[in-house]
Structures are given as C-alpha cells and as structure tokens.
Amino acid sequence: MAAYERLAAVYERLMQDAPYAPWQRFMQQIFQEHARIDIKKIADLGCGTGFVTRQLAKTGYDMTGIDQSENMLAYAASRDTDQQVRWIQQDLRELETIEADAAISMFDVINYITSPADVKQAFSNIWDMLAPGGVFLFDVHSMRHMEEDLANQVFAEIHDDLSYTWFCEAGEEQGEVFHDLTFFTKEIDSDKYDRFDEYHHQRTYPIDSYLSWLEEVGFQVCGVYGDFDITRTENLEEADRLFFACLKNQEA
C-alpha cells in the first residue's frame, strides 16, 4: 500500500466515530436558517479523505472537494467510484475562482492556518468564491479547549492492527499547539508493523478576532454556535468546538 493510502486509510478509520450525522443535521439547519439562495453547489474546503464530501454528494449536492494534500485527494478520488465529486488541489490561502452556493470547512481545518494575515486571506478568497446570498460555515477549536484539553497532553489508542501516540505541545503564541503523532499499522498477512510519523501545527484565536476578520472581508456573521448545537449561543468559551455561520449578502 502506498504511503498516502496508508495514512489516509488510518485517518478515515480514526475519524469513523466522528459526529458526522449531528454535523450534517447542523449544516442543514444553518442553510435553512441563514442562506438566501437555494444551496445546490457546495465547496468542501480541506476535505481530506473526502468522506463528508462523498456523503453530501450522495444526498444530491453538487460537490467540489478542495485540499492542499495531493495524497489525501488521491485517496478521496479513489473512493469516489461514481465520480460524483470534483477534486481540486489548492491551498485556501491561494484559492482560485470556484463558484459555489455554500462553502464548508469542518473539523478544525481553519486552525491549520496559523497567522492572522493568512486567515484573513483565506476568508477573503472564500468570500470571492461564494454566490451572493450564499453561506460559509466553518468550525475551530475554542481557546479553552486548545489550551486546557489539548496543550501539553498525551493521547494514545491501541488496537490489534493499529496504534498511535499523540503528543500535544503548547506553542509560544496563545492558542498554539504542535501535534507530534506516531502510528503503527500491521502489515497485511504479517506480524510486522509499519511506523510512520505526522507533525501538525494548529492555532486558534479569540472569537472576537474571527468576527473582526470575517466582517473585514465582507461577511455578515449570522451566528456563532457551540458543539454542533444551533441553540447553543451563550457561554461559548466553555464549548470545545465553535461554529461560525457567515452570509455573503445578496447586495455584494
């Protein structure tokens, strides 16, 4: 199995218990509540292995999956047996013109953009790609979650055919964490294990910073919610994951 297939397969397996169903219900609620147009074309920004992208395509959306990782996209395309999705390799900071009624960026993709200037550039690019009346929905780790639950913590998971250790080291900046992961996967028809390592850098920011950057590029922020709950709009600092629902006004 090629290296990218191994990593992508492990990633998709470890994410299989992610709250996809609550997330999809939440997304539909956001579209119904805030969109000013009929949502038909969706861009999945930072789509990774494309699991969510493919599930949404099956429900009838015209999907485009965008990721900067060629390896993840290759895996995603290999699983798109009905060729329902357009797969595009691009960095969100350098998005070219792609037309969409809605853009989604889930599971802390935006936290991988680690400078304020780059976050604002990504938001500006996303604003440009949306149709007037369209919606941008994304999530980030809350500051509390990043600093209290992740920074300087160690996580591990062990199965017969897969195990990993995950070290989270606090960075010098507020809300900054470096992730050092080591995976061991059992070879097929063998008692041997392959090891591979991943190193990730994430940073989150206060809610007011995100609000300021979004409004600066032209978005109307319709709501900020906690933990997949459209009714959770208070005490957001206690949530683990924050969701921002943003509208591109039809006058734009």
CATH architecture of the domain formed by 145-203? Single Sheet (2.20)
Please give the Cα distance from 11 to 72 (Å, whole number): 10
Cα–Cα distance, 56 to 74 (Å, whole number) = 19
Q: What are the residue boundaries of the structural domains of the chain, listed by start?
A: 3-141+205-247, 145-203
Q: Residues near 199 by Cβ (< 8 Å), separated by ≥ 6?
A: 178, 179, 180, 181
Q: Which two tokens stand for residue 207?
A: 């809610």
Strands across the sheet containing 193-203: 153-158, 162-170, 176-186, 193-203
Residues belonging to the chain: 252
Q: pLDDT tens, 19-73?
A: 778 888 899 999 999 999 999 999 999 999 998 999 999 999 999 999 998 888 9
What is the phi/psi pair of residue 163, to 5°? -150, 160
Q: Which one-letter amino acid corresponds to residue 207?
A: I
Q: How confident is the model at residue 3 (pLDDT cuts 50, 70, 90)?
A: very low
Q: Give residue-wise pLDDT tens across range 199-245.
A: 999 999 999 999 999 999 999 999 999 999 999 999 999 999 999 99
CA distance 152 to 130: 38
DSSP string computed for 98-113: --EEEEEE-TTGGGG-
The domain defined by 3-141+205-247 carries CATH number 3.20.10.10: no
Number of helices (H) and strands (E), helices first, in the chain? 7, 11
Average pLDDT (178-195) is 88
